[in-house]
């Protein structure tokens, strides 16, 4: 095992379909960060270029300025090889040896994992999951992802893709999912799917407060608008979060019965709905999980938008020490 200086800094990179965020991290402290729009540059070659650019902006030169780089990406990753098997929401990613390519380009040790795994790692080490021996981490956003800690160790499964709670089926039949399945949780509670359901309901309900908030323009609908309408007492907005929370709670009931976790931590943009979402999640788990397991704490993530960068940096630190 390698000895790493106690005050060493690491780079954590959080790759998304809209932005690439990178931070210089020491422990749980984000010392500096940059955010770069991705757009069409979210291809493998474009991402390599953007990561290199981000490190330059952070003052990290080739082979210096940081001990190692950790990367979280929204896709299936063969760990520890750092091969990105696929990314459903990003173009051109199939069997990409990202760890090898970035390490060669940056002149630094690089470690690559799924983005929800690194978020879960951050919350487990420093956030709402700290102290848990068995933990389920969930992120709710464009997609729905999960990460697992079992018996005090991070669990990735035989191929590195364990924890994909967003692709648990809620029924025998339902909408097709890009993963190849049907009726996946993500096809009900992904950002796009929630907004699509609300838009469909708005066409049948002209009295909803949401119409005023969006100025009669459906394209202006966002989760933030639904949140505001909830606070202002709109029944449709509240039904949207209740419906989503019940679906999430149903999937988590299965996870609770299967894994018996100490805690469930939920983050991501959709989780900002707060108690409008968490109340039906908790209620559904209490109703559907086995007796003796149903009282598992279900708590919001604490590290917010920094979790991806902090978790990726922590991944780099742990894997460097292990090498």
Is there a common fold for 10-120+305-322 and 132-301? yes
pLDDT attached to residue 5: 67
Q: Which residues are CB-contacts of 26 (< 8 A; sequence separation ≥ 6)?
A: 7, 8, 9, 10
> Phi then psi for 137, rounded to 5 degrees?
-105, 140
Q: Give the start-to-end residue ranges of the domains of the chain.
A: 10-120+305-322, 132-301
Q: Which phi and psi (to 5°) does residue 165 adopt?
A: -65, -25
pLDDT band at 75 (very low <50, low <70, confident <90, very high): confident
* The token pair that represents 14 in the structure block: 């959080």
pLDDT of 63 reads 65
Of the listed ranges 56-65, 114-123, 203-212, the least confidently predicted one is 56-65
CATH of 132-301, one of 3.30.450.40, 3.30.420.40, 2.40.37.10, 3.10.20.30: 3.30.420.40
Sign of CA pseudo-dihedral 280, 281, 284, 285: negative
Are the C-beta atoms of residues 15 and 47 closer than 8 Å to each other?
yes
Question: 286 pLDDT exceeds 90?
Answer: yes
* CATH number of the domain located at residue range(s) 10-120+305-322 in this protein: 3.30.420.40
* Model pLDDT for residues 257-282, shown as the tens digit of each residue: 999 999 999 999 899 999 999 999 99
Mean pLDDT score of the chain: 93
pLDDT tens by residue, 87-140: 877 878 999 999 999 999 999 999 999 999 999 999 999 999 999 999 999 999
The number of residues making up the chain comes to 323
Query: pTM for the full model?
Result: 0.91
What is the Cβ-side half-sphere exposure of residue 15, based on CA atoms within 13 angstroms?
28
Q: What is the mean pLDDT of residues 21-30?
A: 94
Pick from 9-23, 50-64, 224-238 the range whose average pLDDT is largest: 224-238
Query: Mean pLDDT throughout 221-236?
Result: 96
What's the burial of 181, exposed, middle or buried (CB within 10 Å: 0-12/13-18/19+)? middle
**DSSP characters over 287-319:** HHSPTTTTT--EEE-SSGGGHHHHHHHHHHHHH
Q: Please state, in angstroms and rounded to a whole number, the distance separating the CA atoms of residues 161 and 276.
A: 30
């Amino acid at each position: 095992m390698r000895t790493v200086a106690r005050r060493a800094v690491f780079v954590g990179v959080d790759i998304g379909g809209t932005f690439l965020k990178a931070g210089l991290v020491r422990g749980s402290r984000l010392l500096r960060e940059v955010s770069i729009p991705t757009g069409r540059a979210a291809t493998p070659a474009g991402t390599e270029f953007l990561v290199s650019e981000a490190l330059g902006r952070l003052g990290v030169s080739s082979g210096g300025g940081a001990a190692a780089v950790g990367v979280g990406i929204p896709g299936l990753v063969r760990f520890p090889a750092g091969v990105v098997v696929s990314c459903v929401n990003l173009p051109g990613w199939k069997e990409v040896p990202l760890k090898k390519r970035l390490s060669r380009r940056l002149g630094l040790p690089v470690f690559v994992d799924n983005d929800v795994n690194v978020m879960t790692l951050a919350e487990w080490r420093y956030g709402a999951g700290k102290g848990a021996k068995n933990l389920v981490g969930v992120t709710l956003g464009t997609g729905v992802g999960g990460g697992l800690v079992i018996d005090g160790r991070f669990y990735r499964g035989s191929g590195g893709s364990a924890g994909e709670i967003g692709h648990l089926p809620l029924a025998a039949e339902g909408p097709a999912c890009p993963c190849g399945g049907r009726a996946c949780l993500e096809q009900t509670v992904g950002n796009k799917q929630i907004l699509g359901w609300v838009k469909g309901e708005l066409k049948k309900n002209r009295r909803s407060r949401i119409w005023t908030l969006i100025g009669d323009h459906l394209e202006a609908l966002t989760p933030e608008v639904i949140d505001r309408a909830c606070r202002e007492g709109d029944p449709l907005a509240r039904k949207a979060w209740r419906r989503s929370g019940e679906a999430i709670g149903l999937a988590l009931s299965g996870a609770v019965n299967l894994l018996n976790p100490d805690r469930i931590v939920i983050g991501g943009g959709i989780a900002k709905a707060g108690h409008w979402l968490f109340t039906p999640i908790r209620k559904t788990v209490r109703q559907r999980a086995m007796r003796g397991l149903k009282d598992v704490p279900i708590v919001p993530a604490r590290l917010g938008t920094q979790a991806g960068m902090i978790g990726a940096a922590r991944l780099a630190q742990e894997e460097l020490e292990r090498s």
